[in-house]
C-alpha cells in the first residue's frame, strides 16, 4: 500500500530501529512509545490492521514471531512481563504492540507517556538485542 507508513518502513523508505526480523515479519522500536522499548511486530506484507481478518496461517505466524520478540526483550531488558496490545486505531497495517513492563522503582522511569523516544538510547538497546 503506497501511503502506508509501515509499508514504507518495510521498503526502507522511512528509517526505523529494527531489532529483529525474518522473511515475513519484523520488529522495531516505536519512536513515540508509552514505555521504554515499546516494540512493534508487523508483517512485511500489508494486511489490514484487524488481524482477526487474517488467514489462520498468517495470524499464527504473526503470533509466533511476536513470541520470539518477547523472548528477546525479556532476556535482554530484564523485564518481568510484556503487555501485548493489538489495535487498529493509528496505522492501517497489521501490527502487535509490545509493552515491556517492570514493577518497583523503575516503574516511573520506565513509562514515558508517548513522548518522542531518545533515539540514541533506542539505537543502543537495538544493538544489544541484535547481538543475540
> What does the binding site for Zn ion look like in residue numbers (CB under 5 A)?
1, 4, 6-7, 46, 93
For Zn ion, give the closer residue by CB, 47 or 110. 47
Residue 107 corresponds to which cell in the numbers above?
516503574
DSSP state for residue 84 in the 8-state scheme: E
What is the maximum span of the chain, computed from C-alpha positions, in angstroms? 44
- Residue 62 makes CB contacts below 8 A (sequence gap 6+) with 25, 41, 43, 51, 54, 94, 96
CB of 93 vs Zn ion, minimal distance in Å: 3
C-beta nearest to Zn ion: residue: 4
Q: How far apart are CA 92 and CA 53, in angstroms?
A: 13
Closer by beta carbon to Zn ion, 1 or else 14: 1
Minimum Å gap between C-beta 116 and Zn ion is 22
Q: How far is the CB of 95 from Zn ion (least distance, A)?
A: 9
Residue closer to Zn ion by CB (options 37, 42) is 42
Closest CB 46 distance from Zn ion, rounded Å: 3
Q: Please, which residue, 4 or 77, has the CB nearer to Zn ion?
A: 4
CA atoms within 13 A on the CB side of 43: 21
Got the DSSP string for 101-119? E--TTHHHHHB--SPPP-H
Amino acid at each position: 500500500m503506497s501511503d502506508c507508513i509501515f509499508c514504507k518502513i518495510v521498503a526502507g523508505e522511512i528509517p526505523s530501529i529494527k531489532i529483529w526480523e525474518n522473511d515475513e515479519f519484523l520488529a522495531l522500536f516505536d519512536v513515540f512509545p508509552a514505555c521504554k522499548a515499546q516494540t512493534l511486530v508487523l508483517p512485511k506484507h500489508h494486511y489490514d490492521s484487524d488481524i482477526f481478518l487474517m488467514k489462520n496461517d498468517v495470524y499464527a505466524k504473526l503470533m509466533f514471531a511476536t513470541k520470539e520478540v518477547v523472548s528477546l526483550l525479556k532476556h535482554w531488558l530484564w523485564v518481568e512481563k510484556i503487555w501485548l496490545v493489538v489495535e487498529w486505531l493509528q496505522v492501517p497495517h497489521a501490527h502487535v504492540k509490545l509493552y515491556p513492563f517492570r514493577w518497583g522503582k523503575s516503574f516511573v522511569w520506565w513509562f514515558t507517556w508517548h513522548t518522542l523516544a531518545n533515539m540514541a538510547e533506542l539505537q543502543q538497546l537495538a544493538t544489544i538485542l541484535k547481538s543475540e
